Structure 1
Amino acid sequence: MVKRVVKITVTPGKAGGPAIQQLSQYGLDPAKVADEINKRTRILSNYGINNLFVELEIDEESKRYVVKPELPPIGDLLLKAVGKDTGSHQAGKEIIGNISFEKVAEIAYIKWEELRSRDFLNAVKQVVSACRSVGITIDGKDPKQVLKELSGEAYQGVIRKFEDMLRQEGRL
């Protein structure tokens, strides 16, 4: 089994052009690969990311492939979500923006595989903690307060929504 790794640069949700066409030399259907990349990266188009590296691991015998987008760090996604370029210079004291809990859960959903959490709630907690370190409040609340509220029922509907999406995609 010979595997080849190919890296291409795409615009999230809009893969196409010469970068995708070159994949035909490996016996892949460029349209099918573009659809898979678009499906995996479409959500990132909401964050104003123009160029994203995507790694394709190709089995040259079976022509099967795995799409692995190289995702930006959590802090970068949080800053993009609030429209800032840099985070707080005094974590916990300086507030640079506010984000909805739904957006926090969306970032945990995007970064799910990289966070390596036991469950989605713990992934969300990692993103909430990152909010504090870059100076972002969640629904107007200090992230420490949101962490305390996560043990109750306050955010369970949003968490279940993203857990269901992960299950449907076979990622949870």
Structure 2
Amino acid sequence: MKRVIRIQTSGGKVPPQAMQQLQGAGLNAQEVVNLINNRIKQVAALGFQNLNIEVEYDDSSKRVLRINIDYPPITDIILKVAGKDSPSHQAGKEIIGDIPLEKLAEVALIKIEELGSKSFKSALKQVVSTCRSIGLTVNGKDPKEVIKEIDQGAYDELISKYEKNINPS
């Protein structure tokens, strides 16, 4: 029978009472906490300290089936990475800043599961396209231009570097 334990991180870490919940369910609490902390460390480092997490497990085998992390919206993460408080009020006309593609690759890595992309490359393109709607350029260029460059293979080395870091759920 599937069961779910709900946890809210505090200060970017799994709180001690969650360890007790996991142990009480017969799970290897330290292993589960390590998995969670590893998956949330990037977003916690950006200042998102309180995340909701669901640990789905099989009650009979005491095996974790899935860890679902409720990350902040993609625009919030991009704005935080870019050091901005709010998006452009006139998307496409007002540029509020620039962000390096490598930083967007980090965002894509965080959000890849949620984006439902078939590849890291397509997840990255989704993240880059979001920049246009909030008034950010990427590497000093219009995000549309950067997407074309991604399609032409200009960033394949960067993409393969991040593909190696994709977390299984």
TM-score greater than 0.5 by the shorter chain: yes
Query: Deviation at 1:134?
Result: 0.8
Q: Secondary structure at the match of 1:57?
A: strand
Residues 40-79 of structure 1 correspond to what in structure 2 (within 5 A)? 40-65=39-64, 66-79=66-79
What letter matches 1:94 in structure 2? E
Instruction: Provide the C-alpha distance between the structure 2 equivalents of 1:105 and 1:12, rounded to a whole number of angstroms.
Output: 24
TM-score, normalised with respect to structure 2: 0.90
Q: Identity over the aligned pairs, expressed in percent?
A: 48
Paired residue type of 1:64: R
Give the alignment's Cα RMSD to 1 decimal. 1.7
Q: CA deviation at 1:57?
A: 0.4
Which residue of structure 2 lines up, in the alignment, with residue 96 of structure 1?
A: 96
Q: Could you report, residue by residue, the CA deviation over 1:95-148 in whole angstroms, capped at 9, with x for unpaired residues?
A: 222211001111111111111222221111111110001111111211122112
Aligned to 2:154: 154
Structure 1, residues 8-54: CA drift from partner, whole Å, max 9, x if none? 10147522321332222211232222111111111212321010001
Decide whether aligned partners of structure 1 residues 51 and 114 sit closer, same or farther in structure 2, where only a CA change above 3 A counts: same
Stretches (4+) displaced over 4 A: none
Higher mean displacement: 25-34 or 35-44: 25-34
Letter in 1 for 2:147: L
Letter in 2 for 1:6: I
Aligned length: 168
Unpaired runs of at least 5, structure 2: none
> In structure 2, what is the Cα distance between the partners aligned to 1:161 and 1:116?
20
CA contact (8 A) 2:12 2:49 kept: no
